[in-house]
Each structure stands twice: as structure tokens, then as C-alpha cells.
Amino acid sequence: MTSHSAPHPASQPTPLRVPARKAATSRRSATRRRPPAEPFVWLGFSAGGMIAAVLLPVAAFLFGIAIPLGWLQPDFGHLSAVITNPVTIILMIIGFIVLIVHSAHRLRYLLYDGLKIKRRTLVGALCYGGAVVASAIMIILVLMAAL
């Protein structure tokens, strides 16, 4: 037997290590990235879906049943006063914008997931770019109708 044997592992000092989480955080803080825009798109999608679910049945009832059957008589003076109110104009613009974003988001995922078009950047740019153009046209039309 030799007297030279390997030292016991417990007697060796352990090196200090930086946890992986801290190392990754320090690397991320060195290069700042812009936060993704996707949460805001999902916010617009959910707001548009909520507005569509709440307001479209009311509009369908009013303009599809109540007014044609004569249950309600639309008064032009009252309707004109409501539509030209600045608060109503702002609410209509916001409501239409979130409905347009909701539609663009649904169209994007229909094209990507449903039709398997794998050009994610192009499809997103076309859908959301179309939503921006449609929103601008809608704002012009609402302002022309209200003023």
C-alpha cells in the first residue's frame, strides 16, 4: 500500500459560483431591449372582443328588431345631439379602433394558424398595417359625420 492516496473530496474548498439567474440578469442589463408590443396587441384584441360581445347584440336588437317593428321611433334631433357630443365622438373612435384591432388580430391568427401561412412578419405587418389604415379612415369618417 502506498501512503499517497487522493484527498477526500469534502476536504477540497469549493469554488464560488455566480448563480445562472444572476449571470443572465447581468448580461441582460448590459444590453437593453425594447419591450415587446405583443401585450398591447392582446390588450386591444381583448378590449375589442369585449366591446363586440357587449355592444353588437344591443345594436342588432335596436336596428334589426326594435326600430323596424316600430317599437322605437328614432328622433333625428336627439340622435344628432348625441353623435355631435365630443365625449361620444371620443368613445366612438376608441370603440371602433379596438374593434378594428380585434379583427386584425383574428385575421392574423386565421392566416397563420388556420391557413398555415408561415410568413409571420409579413402577415403581422399586413394585418396590423391594415388596421392602422382602417383606423385612420374611420377617424376621418367619424369626424366628418359628427362635425
Q: What is the rounded average pLDDT of the residues 30-34?
A: 68
Q: Is 26 within the bounds of a domain?
A: no
Q: What is the rounded average pLDDT of the residues 29-40?
A: 72
pLDDT at 9 over 90: no
Q: Is 69 within the bounds of a domain?
A: yes
The reported pLDDT for the residue numbered 33 is 77
**Which residue did the predictor score with more confidence, 64 or 139?**
139
**Which residue did the predictor score with more confidence, 120 or 22?**
120
Q: Is 133 within the bounds of a domain?
A: yes
Q: Is 20 within the bounds of a domain?
A: no
The band of 73, judged by pLDDT with boundaries at 50, 70 and 90, is: confident
Q: Is 5 within the bounds of a domain?
A: no
pLDDT at 143 over 70: yes
Q: Which of 21-30, 68-77, 85-94 has the lowest mean pLDDT?
A: 21-30
Q: Is 11 within the bounds of a domain?
A: no
The band of 75, judged by pLDDT with boundaries at 50, 70 and 90, is: confident
What is the number of domains present in the chain?
Answer: 1
The reported pLDDT for the residue numbered 12 is 65
Chain CA centroid to CA 128, Å? 10
Q: What is the span of the domain harbouring residue 101?
A: 38-146
Q: Is 23 within the bounds of a domain?
A: no
Q: Is 21 within the bounds of a domain?
A: no
pLDDT at 95 over 70: yes
pTM comes to: 0.62
Indicate which CATH number applies to the domain containing 93.
1.20.1300.10
